[in-house]
Structure 1
Amino acid sequence: MKQIYVIGIGAGDPEQLTLQAVRALGRADVFFLLDKGEDKAGLVRLREEILERHAARPHRVVVARDPDRDRTAAGGAYAPAVDDWRRRRADIYQRLIAEELADDACGAFLVWGDPALYDSTLAILEDVHARGGVAFDWTVVPGISSVATLAARHRTGLNQVGRPVQITTGRRLADEGLPDGVDDVVVMLDARQAFGALAGQGLHIYWGAYLGTPDEILLAGPLDEELADRIRTVRAEARTRTGWIMDTYLLRRAPHESAAPR
């Protein structure tokens, strides 16, 4: 049966690969990469660098064009837009596995960070498997997430003593605000830059972009209007320069400012 590895490759630094991930790279015959266009060519180059360093055995690299997603969809249209994008991605994955991988061969998808955290690969492979059009088995190799890298770069923990930490998206933060009873909130996928609406509310922010790459940027401090504007400016300049951006941040309430009982 065809075998698939879903390999977490960390936040961008080739040295963040685990030994398990390196072994999995060494077993793959074919690596499947999705091309997100010229503006995001750097994402493909980072994956290629990882393969040059760690994929020692002879292998092929198959590149497919990633389907576009409607990023303007909001409200009730958001979930259907994501479902449609995932379906079209599943069509591509099914074709790649069926046509580019021999029956006794091993293929691999390289996933930023950890495959279990805000990534669609696992759900899409489950969809392809359920269709029954191509038979395969798959193994998931965990990776170092951007969340772990963010905390390490800022030399801080993700939670305070005895308190929970919540991981959410910029979309939910913008729509619902900071959750009650949680002192530490990690925010991912924040195209809206929702942190700006929370400036001046006694929060501390630890922000990072391009974590683990040569373009890495770190900013931290009390989240006031000045720092919020600084992050927005730096973010816009970086995106213009590179054509893409991936950023993550931690918002922290001071212990005495939490509304939750101790």
Structure 2
Amino acid sequence: MIALQLIGIGTGNPAHLTGEAIAALNGADLILVPRKENAPDLADLRRSICAAVLTRAVPIAAFDMPVRAGEDYLQAVHDWHDAIAAAWTATIRAQLPGGGTVALLVWGDPSLYDSTLRIAARLADASVRVVPGVTSIQALTAAHAIPLNPLAGAVTVTTGRLLRSHGWPGGADTLVIMLDGGCAFQDLDPAGIRIWWGAYLGMPQQALDQGPLAEAGPRIMAARAALRGRHGWIMDVYLLRKEIR
């Protein structure tokens, strides 16, 4: 039997881990670390987080992260999740043939625009526990010292893909956009919209910008491209708010 613990690790800063998360890592029999060919720093970052909080020797096993492929988005994602679950299973069986407790470090929070729980559901004979962490939304609003919602206003959390394909959702004063690799805000009419953006939140290379979308949008696009080129990867999130007249 495998007891799988999905541990939210914030945005990469060891200080974002809760006491519960640190206890869970130290109580594990194995820590799984995904390894991406195009972003090896992410595996190193997970290892450095473990080094900062572990008080006992816990084995760490890396696995090669499958690559998503296919033109049909939903089918490609389902196939990708199947492949990731198979990689987890093979690594766990090799390291813990008799079963045990396995910890997997998850950026932000496993429940918010993250498919780790859907992948975990594919594992046979495994119980799942989620240890929540600081989300990128919390880190973003804290970094800019702003409230998430306007007074008596609604907030919609969505993705860059949906913003680009469907535009601004009706009824929302504020949008939080996640998983946006293409700066979908550039497709909006910027009049009356303000943006707050953050990348590598809470980390030494943290980058922030904010202002009217018409002015800040081009700066953010340029900064994002430069940062991705410099580091080889980027994790960012932004908040859009319409002016209330």
Q: TM-score range by the shorter chain?
A: over 0.9
What fraction of aligned residue pairs are identical, expressed as a percent? Answer: 41
Which runs of structure 2 are paired with 1:54-93 in the superposition (5 Å)?
54-70=53-69, 73=71, 77-93=72-88
What displacement does 1:116 show?
Answer: 0.4
Q: Does the aligned pair in 2 maintain the 1:93–1:125 contact within 8 Å?
A: no
Q: Which amino acid aligns with 1:43?
A: L
Aligned partners of 2:63 and 2:88 also within 8 Å: no
- The Cα shift of 1:122 comes to 0.9
State the alpha-carbon separation in 2 of the partners of residues 150 and 247 from structure 1.
9
Could you say what secondary structure the match of 1:255 adopts? coil
Displacement of 1:148: 0.7
Between the two proteins, the alignment pairs up a number of residues equal to 245
Q: Where does residue 239 of structure 1 map in the other structure?
A: 228
1:15 aligns with 2:5: no
The offset of 1:195, in angstroms, is 0.8
CA distance in 2, matches of 1:215, 1:97: 33
Partner of 1:45: 44
State whether residues 171 and 190 of structure 1, in contact with CA within 8 Å, keep that contact through their aligned partners in structure 2: yes
Alpha-carbon distance in structure 1 between the residues aligned to 2:48 and 2:172: 39
Give the alignment's Cα RMSD to 1 decimal. 1.4
For the 8 Å contact 1:2–1:102, the answer to whether it is kept is no
1:211-238 per-residue CA deviation (whole Å, 9 max, x = no partner) reads 12111100000110x4211111110000
Q: Which residue of 2 aligns with 1:164?
A: 154
* TM-score normalised by length of structure 2: 0.96
> 3-state DSSP class of the match of 1:56?
coil
Q: CA deviation at 1:97?
A: 2.6
Selected match of 1:108 from 103, 110, 125: 103
Distance in 1 between residues matched to 2:175 and 2:216, nearest whole Å? 18
Whether the 8 Å contact between 1:30 and 1:108 is mirrored in structure 2 is yes
Long gaps (5+) in structure 1: 130-134, 257-262
Query: What amino acid sits opposite 1:184 in the alignment?
Result: T
Consecutive unaligned residues of structure 2, counting only runs of 5 or more, are none
2:1 aligned with 1:6: no
Q: What is the CA–CA distance in structure 2 between the aligned matches of 1:92 and 1:141, rounded to whole Å?
A: 22
Q: Is the 1:198–1:223 contact (alpha carbons within 8 Å) kept by the matching residues of 2? A: no
> 1:229 aligns to what?
218
How far apart in 2 are the matches of 1:218 and 1:229?
Answer: 14
CA displacement, residues 164-216 of structure 1 (integer Å, 9 cap, x when unaligned): 11100000000001111100000001112111122532100000111121111
What is residue 120 of structure 2 aligned with on the other side? 125
- Distance across 2 between alignment mates of 1:13 and 1:121: 20
Say which SS state the counterpart of residue 178 (structure 1) adopts. coil
Alpha-carbon offset, residue 99 of structure 1: 2.5
1: CA distance, partners of 2:11 / 2:78: 25
Contact 1:210 1:216 in 2 (8 A): yes
Contact 1:28 1:59 in 2 (8 A): yes
Residue of structure 1 equivalent to 2:239:
250
- Secondary structure of 2:67 counterpart: coil
Secondary structure class of the residue paired with 2:122: helix
Shift of 1:136: 2.6
Q: 1:196 aligns with which of 183, 186, 190?
A: 186
